[in-house]
Chains A and B, each alone.
Chain A
Amino acid sequence: MDKTQNNKAWFLILPVLILVAFSAVIPLMTVVNYSVNDTFGSNDFFWNGLGWFEEMIASDRMHAALGRQVLFSGIILAIEVPLGIFVALNMPKKGFWASFCLVLMALPLLIPFNVVGTIWQIFCRIDIGLLGHSLAALGIDYNYTNDALDAWITIIVMDVWHWTSLVALLCYAGLQSIPQAYYQAAKIDQASRWSVFRYIELPKMSGVLLIAVLLRFMDSFMIYTEPFVLTGGGPGNSTTFLSIDLVKMAVGQFDLGPAAAFSIMYFLVILLVSWVFYTVMTTLDAQETK
């Protein structure tokens, strides 16, 4: 749609600007302020320049947390995106069963994050959990509180359980928008199931898939509550992701300077990756409307 050029539109945006300025800019500037100052407590600050940034960039702790975070986001994207597409392709197209599936699939998305952690804690414990108990009965040595690998597997399965439906719902919405004529044409050409997917369904889903990947990337990169409730970042530090480490540093140890420098770099990483996604997305949008 052509838009009218009108700078008075700023007035309509004003309420949002004021609100977001209050709830985002002021806190963010506080963080920036902390990141360049040092303190001996009691509001007595002095200038520290880029000291904290240099310290955090060189610190093994941050590298380790960042490494775990990237690995985690990579794994869950590699599982959830194909699985979500697969589920969406198998969903009933319309009628009662379609609504039924939609409602059930959306259910995990509306469970508070800490309850998700609790559900999996109760489900996986060896003494009282269905999964933990069954695995133990089968003679499999599984204990997510002691074994780093088991903890990772549990957190990944939990995240797949929690968020695959989001990818599936998005792809489902994309699939619904494909006109029947496309499929009929494919049938006349005797296209195989794979070519129908590759040349009709996948291109039509690309827009929503991008949103799905963007949302999943952002949210998995900020994951805090679920692993915090489930494993508390342990055993050891093996499941301490960036947010968990940050909260430990800022609230637990009250190391404001390093935590603030850490926050800003953390934020910039997310911003950078999201900007790439966003640019690709808007370019695609523009191409489609042409």
Chain B
Amino acid sequence: MKNRASLITMTLYLLFLLIPIYWLVNMSLKTNTEITSTFSIYPQTLTFANYITILTDPSWYMGYVNSMIYVVLNTVISITVALPAAYAFSRYSFMGDKHLFFWLLTNRMSPPAVFALPFFQLYSSIGLFDTHIAVALAHCLFNVPLAVWILEGFMRGVPKEIDETAYIDGYSFPRFFIRIFMPLVASGIGVAAFFCFMFSWVELLLSRTLTAVDAKSIAATMTRTVSASGMDWGVLAAAGVLTIIPGALVIYFVRNYIAKGFALGRV
């Protein structure tokens, strides 16, 4: 009895999640005339023309390439600076540590809308406007605190005796950190990288403000095309489907850690 109720609940919930996505996929496989003229719950004349448009037009597919570049850059930068900081927070108490930790967290809370304009001016004035590194640095605003938080949660679970033993055995700090400590928190690093990837990938406002042509992200490409060429629903839907794929792939790899990661390593 209880199991059947659970089954029904989960089925309904998953259907609720999947139907809008299905509709997007459905749209992406139709021609524009079919979308606007007839209403059908599956494509009458199956077409891949929308996908071909995107994959052959540089102004479209470069959007994906640009997005991937700054997302990967951001993930690498965030994890690199967050690792030592998370170690410090999890192992030592020092002057102002609690305040500093909360201050870092406040950056995760600050609305990107507040920072959009100052970022634009800051990066324009140092000549980084419309480069991948500008977006990657801007996304550090919320990804670095997040990475520090998640990693700190995971590092807390590693017993301190390991550090002490390693120092007694004559390991220097960098060698200990890279050779012994990092493998121990590998799953934490994976989860933190996943979250940096995710939040950088889904963000639109800053990436749109900071790029114009050379580093234009896919999200920005999509919004601009909507306003410029009227409504090309088929291509828009196909572009949307293609943005979902990278996320779906990464999710599959970290599926067993997702829940713990969302709890910022604090379960």
Q: Residues on A close to B: CB < 8 A?
A: 1, 3-10, 12-13, 15-16, 19-20, 22-24, 26-28, 30-31, 86-87, 90-92, 99, 101-115, 118-120, 122-123, 127-130, 133, 161, 165-166, 169-170, 172-174, 176-177, 207-208, 211, 218, 221-222, 224-225, 229, 242-244, 246-247, 250-251, 256, 259, 263, 266-267, 270-271, 274-275, 278, 285
Contact assessment for B219 and A114 in the assembled complex, using a CB-CB cutoff below 8 Å: yes
Residues of chain B contacted by A225 (CB below 8 angstroms): 204-205
Q: Write out the residue numbers on chain A whose beta carbons fall within 8 Å of the beta carbon of B91.
A: 3-4, 9
Write out, one digit per residue, whether chain B residues 203-236 have a CB within 8 A of any chain A CB (1) or not (0).
1110001000000001100110010000001001
Question: CA A10 – CA B226 in complex, angstroms?
Answer: 48
Determine if B92 and A20 form an interchain contact, defined as CB atoms under 8 angstroms apart: no
The 6 A-B residue pairs whose C-beta atoms are closest, nearest first, are: A110-B247, A27-B118, A173-B259, A12-B88, A9-B92, A222-B111
How many CB-defined contacts (below 8 Å) exist between A and B?
A: 279
| Min CB–CB distance B248 → chain A (angstroms) | 6
Q: How many residues of B contact A (CB 8 A)?
A: 97
- Contact between chains at B20 and A270 (CB < 8 Å): no
Interface string of B237-267 (1 = CB under 8 A from A): 1001001100110111001101110111011
- B180 adjacent to chain A (CB < 8 Å): no
Query: Which B residues lie at the A interface, using CB under 8 A?
Result: 5-6, 9-10, 13-14, 16-21, 23-24, 27, 35-36, 39, 41, 77, 80-82, 84-85, 87-95, 97, 100, 102, 104-119, 121-122, 137-138, 140-141, 144-145, 148, 156, 160, 198, 201-205, 209, 218-219, 222-223, 226, 233, 236-237, 240, 243-244, 247-248, 250-252, 255-256, 258-260, 262-264, 266-267
Residues of B within 8 A of A86 (CB): 9
Q: Of residues B9, B97, B116, B262, which shows the largest number of chain A Cβ atoms within 10 Å of its Cβ?
A: B262
A103 to B179, CA, bound (A): 32
B164 to chain A, nearest CB (A): 10
